[in-house]
Every structure is written in structure tokens, then in C-alpha cells.
Chains A and B, each alone.
Chain A
């Protein structure tokens, strides 16, 4: 009988009588459907970090929407920080939890094939501003974007940045 329709990737053990020589290790073969199958010859240890070739898709289905992400950052900051006073001990853990939360919300919004980088900075509010924050990127202008929001209250300020890079 023929193989069933819609064959998926599988690891096949090759028990070939003409066993390949010592130097042949794993090989990755492109099947006709465009998927990769991993063929492992017996008697050789698995190589743990195998790098699969890319399936290229130059244009994203869904482009990164920076306005929506900006509102998300704003909501999270207002909810978590509100009228909080700057406290050194607390802010250390707060920055990490905030960046995790923002990353999680951006993932939920759903931008497939995008890599996300979230940066959060919290500082004490001063009477004379004495800080400058700059960033610059090398990216693909058509597909990549970023979003930024600054939150201020009486005693602290918080800057949230989200960069989204399309993986083509």
C-alpha cells in the first residue's frame, strides 16, 4: 500500500545492510513537501544542537502594531506602578517582573514570526533632569518596528520599550 497522505516529520532508524562508514553522521534531508526529516544512523550519538534551515517568508502576515503595543505598556505601567514611591529594593525586582509581563502581553497580542525584545528602566524622579536615553537599530524598515511609553508620577519615572524584529 502507498504511504498515507500528509506524511509528517519523523525520526527513522535506518537498519541498512550496507551500513555507512564511520564518518557519516546525521543528515538532514529536505523531503518533497518542504519539511525536514531527521535520519539518524544507528551506533552514533545524537548531536544535540542541530540547526534547521530556514523556511523563508519575506513578508509578514501580520505587521507589528506599535500603537496597540504602546497602549499595552501604558496599561501595565499604570496598573503596576500607579502612585508607587521609588524604593530601591522593590524596584530591582519590579523591573524584571514588568519586563516579563510586557513581553507576555505582546506575545498574547499575536505577532507570528516576530522576535521581541523588551527593555524597562525605572528611575527616581529628580528636580533637574540628568539622564539621556537613546537607542538605534539596524533592521528591515518594512517589517520591523518598536514601541515606547514613558510613565511618570511624583517620585519615579518608568520607560518601557518594545522592539519587534521580523524573522523572515
Chain B
């Protein structure tokens, strides 16, 4: 039989996903200042855009995208995640971004099907 493929094309590629996320954040909230009434819409837009771009990659993955937008006024926030998955094919990446008035943290988890 032929050499068995290790399936590298269908592993989670962190760099690619990081770029997608950065673009999504910058185009949605890049130049803006924190506005409480707009924050919900911003998070939805960032997540929607990330998912759209991720599906365009055409890989056999299920995705979970979470986005946190927080105002810069001194409060602390800690996040952690724990995953039960297949180490060879699944992966995650987290992008931390900030501007003068707010922080934005986006996490993408990709699970191979």
C-alpha cells in the first residue's frame, strides 16, 4: 500500500487563524473608542467575521469563537480554558489586542471532524 498521509493539511494552523482574527478585530473596532451601547454589536461583528473567514478556509473543522471586549479602567480579568480533544488534529489560538480605550481578547478553538 502507499505511504499513509499524516494529515498535515487538516491540522489546525495557528498562524493562519491568528491573521484572520487580527484582521477581523482591526476592521470592526480598530479606530473606535469604547462605547457601552455599541459593544454588543462589536463583539457579534468580530465573531461573525472570524467565522466567515474561517469557513472560507474550507477545512473539515468545527469552530468555537469567543470574544471579550473590556474597557480600560483598571478592572482585572483572567481567563483560562481546558479542552478534551485530539491533540494531533485540534488546536486553539488566542489573540489579545488593545487600543487606547479598550482590550479585546478573541479565542478560536478548532475541532477536527
Contacts and interface: CB of A to CB of B under 8 A. Distances in A.
Interface of A: 23-29, 47, 49-51, 86, 88, 91-92, 94-96, 98-100, 102-103, 106-107, 115-124, 126, 129-140, 144, 161, 163, 165, 167-168
Q: Would you call the interface of chain B mostly helix, strand, loop, or mixed?
A: mixed
Contacts of A103: 82-84
B68 to A, nearest CB: 5
Nearest to A129: B36
B82 A132 contact: no
23 contacts: A23-B3, A27-B1, A29-B1, A86-B76, A92-B78, A96-B80, A99-B82, A115-B83, A115-B85, A115-B90, A116-B83, A117-B85, A117-B109, A117-B111, A118-B81, A118-B82, A124-B76, A131-B75, A132-B40, A133-B67, A134-B43, A134-B44, A137-B62
Given A135-B65, A137-B64, A26 B4 contact: yes
B64 A117 contact: yes
Task: Kindly state the interface size class of chain B when it binds its partner.
Answer: 35 or more
Contact of A118 (B5, B6, B44, B83): B83
Contacts of B83: 103, 115-118
Top-5 shortest CB links A-B: A95-B80, A27-B1, A134-B43, A130-B71, A99-B82
